[in-house]
Amino acid sequence: MGFDGKLVAITGVGRAGQVGEMLAQRFAQLGATVALIDRDEQELQGRAADLKRAGHKIIAVTTDLTNPDAVASAAAQISDNGKTPLNALVAAAGGFAMSGPVAESDFAAWQQQLQISLITAYLATRAFLPALRAARGSIVYFASAAALPGAKTASMSGYAVAKAGVLALMQAVAQEERGNGVRANALAPTSIRTAANVSAMGANQSYVERESVADVVQWLSSDGARDVTGQVIRLGA
């Protein structure tokens, strides 16, 4: 499952201790040229510098993933206007916030959840699809166990709806792009052991480890999963 000579783009690679950082490390160690995409210039350059010091091939692009023109420009820069095939897109940008009971919910919190999880995934998909088709590549989306049937979603409907939208987007792309050789799948994890989650909930909670997430994303992005598309993989208890 090596990625020598391949190009992988990952959204949401900014803050240290988060999932994007681990994914970038994994693909870089496997020999890929890794394009890191995030809105926070300082954090992004920090992650890029760490990887470059280790001798890895890194492209760092700061962009607002909720802005269609900005995302299109980033995709053109990373893929050299579509001339460089993209083997994998990992749509890891997102975040979590409670929005409150629906009757008293905060509209701004709801809107933000849709923007950072669903709109970012949609715009990245749309912008990178030409390069993904050229490589017959893979897209891995980040949904959540909160978007699965039977999940407890009280007071967090904004987050749950955004992640359910990500699953619907994944299914649409899997169906539409099958003939072009592009695969689309999604992870639906419970809480992941990130720096932000540990800070908010403590270290002794039951978490999905970042390394486990990277294992599954690596496989879904590899030739070993070339017949896998339209699937949702739950992680965690």
Band (pLDDT 50/70/90 cuts) for residue 122 is: very high
- The SS3 assignment for 16 reads coil
CATH number of the domain residue 163 falls in: 3.40.50.720
Residue 159 within any structural domain of the chain: yes
Residue 100 within any structural domain of the chain: yes
What tens digit of pLDDT does each residue of 138-182 get? 999 999 999 999 999 999 999 999 999 999 999 999 999 999 999
Q: Give the pTM.
A: 0.96
Residue 176 within any structural domain of the chain: yes
Residue 2 within any structural domain of the chain: no
Residue 150 structural domain = 7-235
User: Are residues 87 and 32 in contact, defined by beta-carbon separation less than 8 angstroms?
Assistant: yes
User: Are residues 94 and 102 in contact, defined by beta-carbon separation less than 8 angstroms?
Assistant: no
| Burial of 116 (C-beta count, 10 Å sphere; 0-12/13-18/19+) | buried
Q: How many domains does the chain have?
A: 1
Residue 1 within any structural domain of the chain: no
| 37-53 core/surface letters (b: 16 or more CB in 10 A; e: else) | bbbeeebbbebbebbee
Residue 22 within any structural domain of the chain: yes
